[in-house]
Structure 1
Amino acid sequence: MTKEKAGLKARPTTRKSSAEKAAVNELNNRHDLAHVPLEQRIGAVIKRRRLESNLTLSDLSTGAGLSSAMLSRIENGMATASLDALERLCAAVGIGLSDLFKETETKQGSAQLVKRTEQMEVVRVGTKFGHTYRLLSYDRGPRKLFEPFFIEMDKKSETYPRFAHPGTEFIYMLQGRMEYRFGEHTYLIEPGDAFTFSGEVVHGPEKLLDDRIKFLAIIFYGE
């Protein structure tokens, strides 16, 4: 995506101030990223991309629909941006979301640690029914191989959506009991139970048997 398509035009190239040069050099020359929190690595990439595009905080915040104060906090690793905000920031500087996460990877292998405070709450079909979805890992390349979620539900929601998607889904129940619909069948899932099924068959919670339930759901998309 070019900057013109994203709706932001880079300012005419001018000589960067010494402070801007120092900031770009500092961001380009970080080595020990394994111990740098994810939000700081994300903020560093956003800031570097903004400076390389000769955009001010005001330019980028306006283009991404954020306040300048919030953008400054994100760039300095003092705030965790939602996936929606990150997508808008990436579009404004002309990169894809997968490119952003690829640039935050460490050079020490393929491991990825996402601390509890770094896990992003994402919007899914069940969000409007009061269900909470927390994404436990982020895309590390152009192809999405899997998505792991921590999901919470309670009996306040009397409506449970149905899902159908490519790939295989795995559920591990952590707390509470629920009846889960898979096609024409219903399964009782209790704490410690594991349930694996084809995502292409219509599925979803049928009934909560306890006030609150928590479980892990991992969708594998394959190669």
Structure 2
Amino acid sequence: MATRKAKPKAAGKAARPAAPEPAAHAEDRNLDQHIGHVLREKRQAQSLTIADVADLAGVSRGMLSKIENGQVSTSLETLRKLSGVLGMTLAQLFKNFDVPEGGAQHVKSGEGLEVVRRGTRRGHTYHLLAYDQGPRKQVEPFLITMDDASEVFPTFTHPGTEFIYMLEGRIEYRHGRNTYLLEPGDSLTFKGSIPHGPERLLEVPIRFLAVINYGDEE
């Protein structure tokens, strides 16, 4: 097999690698892109052309095009004029810059994970509305539906605090030695370590939200 000879190195001083771009420059470019995006969206929402806005703000059309494309930085005075023409304040222009991306968990209606808990039978369903990704559960929100008034329920215990909010129907709910009549709009908050659960289903179908906050107890 033929081998390729290494090329001899050129004599003289080796070329220095290009210096990394200062972080501040990258941030400025991101800010320019944000400003341009907001201005363009606002202009298009009002069915205005670049020529319309440029003429009203007293800037050149070419400059406004570059601003909208994040290609140039411009003065606050120019930004104030452009914002004014588009019915915005400078505060609104910068409002959502440098906001954390976030990562909310979105569960569409009817797509909650159906889970089985001790004592769950036909006509009694739990839909888990959020799923913890980490090693420890912090919170568990359920949508609970009951439509069998003859069902007998066990009591439950668990760590943390539970919050119930009634959506539909009427239920008598036990917590320890006490029972509570829950109707739409009512809420109940209690320690999960005390035995609790439905006592009587007074009007079905019943739907309520149950949120368990484990905190540091689990």
Normalized against structure 2, the TM-score is what?
0.51
Contact 1:151 1:215 in 2 (8 A): yes
Mapped partners of 2:122, 2:110: distance in 1 = 24
SS of 2:197's partner is strand
Alpha-carbon shift at residue 129 of structure 1 (Å):
5.1
Aligned residues: 117
1:171 paired residue number: 164
Give RMSD over aligned pairs: 1.6
2:194 paired residue number: 201
Mapped partners of 2:149, 2:179: distance in 1 = 21
Contact 2:123 2:148 in 1 (8 A): no
Normalized per residue, which structure has more helix?
1
Identity of aligned residues (%): 62
Mapped partners of 1:220, 1:164: distance in 2 = 13
Rg (Cα) greater in structure = 2
1:153 paired residue number: 146
Structure 2: which amino acid aligns with 1:114? Answer: V
1:217 to 210, 213, 218: 210
Contact 2:128 2:141 in 1 (8 A): yes
Structure 2: which amino acid aligns with 1:205? Answer: P
Mapped partners of 2:105, 2:202: distance in 1 = 35
SS of 1:187's partner is strand
Mapped partners of 1:136, 1:220: distance in 2 = 14
SS of 2:119's partner is helix
1:111 to 79, 101, 104: 104
Normalized against structure 1, the TM-score is what?
0.50
Contact 1:129 1:157 in 2 (8 A): no
SS of 1:177's partner is strand
Mapped partners of 2:112, 2:126: distance in 1 = 10
